Structure 1
Amino acid sequence: MNIPIETIRQALGLLPAKMAGCRAMTMIIAIGLQESGFLARRQYGNGPARGFWQFERDGGVKGVMEHPATTSYAAAICLQRGVPFQRSKVWAALETDDVLAVVFARLLLWSDPKPLPALTEQSAAWSLYARTWRPGKPHPEKWPECHANALSALA
């Protein structure tokens, strides 16, 4: 398991400080482990998801780009990264730009009205992930290990 901790820190550093911290890092790592295991930037079987956090063009990408709480942050980071603020362009860039992918993962979490769960609240973390990612094929049995590995990665 090759978790891109420094890339995650770098990406969170591009956002306001209120979006960083151990809770955010834990969620981003756990979701990356859940979605791709940090092994695939393109969904297996040539599916529609891109990046380690497996964003779909008309799902998470659209959500982050259009949500009132995240659109301005997303547009600013896309400008910094040289990515046109167009859904298809952002979606394509997520496959190769891990910093942008982390930013979009954090912003998708930010779009949820509830605060990030405490580090020990594994089931609340699952609920947040399920609400925001809305996985087509959820695997709740994998989550405890992904969450525990995320906590271990930060220790």
Structure 2
Amino acid sequence: MPTLAQVRTLVHDLIKPGLEELGDIVGSKQQIASREAVVMLTAIGLQESALTHRRQLHDADPGPGVDLQPIQTPGLGAYGLWGFEYSGIRLTLRHAKVRALRNIIEALTSVGLDPDPDARSANASRIMADDKAALWLARLYLLTDNQALSLDADEMWVVYKRVWNPGKPRPEHWPANFKLALDAYPEKPLPLTKRGAGMILTGVSAAVTYGPDIVHTATGMKAIQLGPTWQTIVGVMMAAGMILTLIGTIRARKATGK
């Protein structure tokens, strides 16, 4: 099993940028490269291959001290980091939702995949040789299911089983794999430079504007009256703070795919 640092590197170098590139081509970046999609594909890759093996190993255990060898018969076993069988490759490429995507032919051919659903052998070889091609095919495979992706491990286990239909599901491994995927791509904090500055500006402006009246009401002390120039400055500060807060919030939501 790879370490958290290794999985984070894969997420940073392959999965997240790869999904963003696919999303740009097909015109649906927010859906294709959402945090839910990144986490789900990371978890599936861990479940299928530990994000390490690009050819499924023999199911039979020959015993201690004997190396497991890749299956050599074409069409048997699974291919690529996301463990595609021939049937999965064909189903993905012929599915109506996938075929309806904008620029899908361009997307497939740009990573060396053949859009022909029957080109299973060529595509199987391709996804063993190119991890980005395997990632894109896996993301398209998830589109064939109607359930929205989420960050709930139990819900996503059901989706994984339904879509990948693994011969040996190994449910006992899924919780740890899903948690590792979540930890490898944590939710980003809201941008401090914009949202934090905006909240500070808004708070200071509100304090200057309303503070004296509140103090006067509570203690009877005479409230300080701001001149027209200072009233304008405080008003601009409050407006700028609210705008920065809004921009920071929007950027954070886009960054997490929500």
Q: Same fold (TM over 0.5)?
A: yes
Long gaps (5+) in structure 1: none
Structure 1 residues 21-30 or 66-75, which shifts more? Answer: 66-75
Q: What's 1:109 paired with?
A: 142
Q: What's 2:15 paired with?
A: 8
For 2:17, the aligned partner's letter is: Q
For 2:99, the aligned partner's letter is: T
Q: What's 1:67 paired with?
A: 95
For 2:143, the aligned partner's letter is: W
User: Using the alignment, how far apart are the partners of 2:121 and 2:176 within structure 1?
Assistant: 33
SS in 2 for 1:69: helix
Contact 2:47 2:177 in 1 (8 A): yes
Contact 2:15 2:38 in 1 (8 A): yes
Q: What's 2:201 paired with?
A: none
Q: What's 1:55 paired with?
A: 84
For 1:54, the aligned partner's letter is: G
> Which residue among 157, 178, 188 is the counterpart of 1:126?
157
User: Using the alignment, how far apart are the partners of 2:80 and 2:99 within structure 1?
Assistant: 19
Long gaps (5+) in structure 2: 59-70, 187-258
Q: What's 1:36 paired with?
A: 49
Structure 1 residues 14-23 or 127-136, which shifts more? Answer: 14-23
Contact 2:113 2:133 in 1 (8 A): no
Contact 1:10 1:99 in 2 (8 A): no
Q: Which has the higher helix share?
A: 2
Q: How far 1:82 sits from its partner (Å)?
A: 3.0
**Count of residues in correspondence between the two structures:** 152
Q: What's 2:114 paired with?
A: 84
User: Using the alignment, how far apart are the partners of 1:101 and 1:34 within structure 2?
Assistant: 15
Distance 1:24-1:148 versus aligned 2 partners, 3 A rule: same
For 1:129, the aligned partner's letter is: Y
Q: How far 1:88 sits from its partner (Å)?
A: 1.9
TM-score by length of 1: 0.91
Contact 2:39 2:182 in 1 (8 A): yes
Q: How far 1:83 sits from its partner (Å)?
A: 3.2
TM-score by length of 2: 0.56
SS in 2 for 1:38: coil
- The alignment-based identity, stated in percent, is 34
Q: Does 1:146 align with 2:177?
A: yes
Higher RCO (C-alpha 8 Å, min separation 6): 1
Q: How far 1:72 sits from its partner (Å)?
A: 5.1
User: Using the alignment, how far apart are the partners of 2:96 and 2:184 within structure 1?
Assistant: 32
- List per-residue Cα deviations over 1:27-47 (Å, max 9, x = no partner): 000000000101200111315
SS in 1 for 2:171: coil
For 1:37, the aligned partner's letter is: A
User: Using the alignment, how far apart are the partners of 2:99 and 2:124 within structure 1?
Assistant: 15
